[in-house]
Amino acid sequence: MKSRFEIIDFHSHILPGADHGSSSIETSKKQLALAAECGIKRVIATSHFYPHVHTVDAFLEKRNNAYFALAPHIPEEIEIRLGAEVLICNGIENLPRLEKLFIHGTNSLLLELAGSDFVSEHIDSVRALIARGVDVILAHADRYEPSLIEEMISLGARIQLNAESLNTVFKRKVLYDWLSRGLVVALGSDIHGADKSAYPSLVKAYSKIGKYAEAVCSESAKIWDKSVEF
């Protein structure tokens, strides 16, 4: 299954040992082979960054080592850019070297909200990030209460959706409203392990969103084109 659009997997966990997405180079190779089978040639590796667990330097060392271990095994037709899925916390905007967690070469930050642990101070952090010129992209916004996402949107945040959410009836009306308003800039597989359904689901999601697919691909491409290889 392939798409007529140049799909970018904007949210993936394909670096071996960088987080719980892939436990080995063999698993990562399977993930990339699955992407290639679906014609997906551009992948952003967004390993989990937990500010209560990691320092930025320790995270970068682990992520970069994982990338260099995988690099000889990356298929020729696939390009990878490095980023992170950063869990929000109070004062995240003050984290030293936060910019090192942006998608490499850009001002785009893939920010994971805290779900049931979300507190009002997190809104202040998002406001502060956007005021500083950070392009805040909400990871898998489909998982959260729409009212919370709307509040983030009002501050200037944009949206990444997981493919699986567009292939079910869950919140479909809300998701299509966000698409129609031009708020969705990316879709992602959020692949963990050698999930054989992840990349076909991503291609299917672009087919599902129909007239909005080209616009989403275009917004993802604008970010990709700013990014640089590690």
pLDDT digits (tens, 9 = 90+) for 144-198: 999 999 999 999 999 999 999 998 877 889 999 999 999 999 999 999 999 999 9
- Six-digit token pair at 209? 């969103």
**Residue 81 CA: distances (Å) to CA of 1, 47, 110, 189:** 23, 11, 13, 15
pLDDT at 4: 61
Tokens at 147, concatenated: 């009212």
pLDDT at residue 198 in the model: 97
Q: Is the pLDDT of residue 133 over 70?
A: yes
Which residues touch 137 (CB under 8 Å, ≥6 apart)? 108, 109, 110, 111, 157, 158, 159, 160, 185, 186
User: pTM of the prediction?
Assistant: 0.96
Q: What is the mean pLDDT of the chain?
A: 95
How far is it, in rounded angstroms, from Cα 174 to Cα 151? 14
**What pLDDT score was predicted for residue 155?**
96
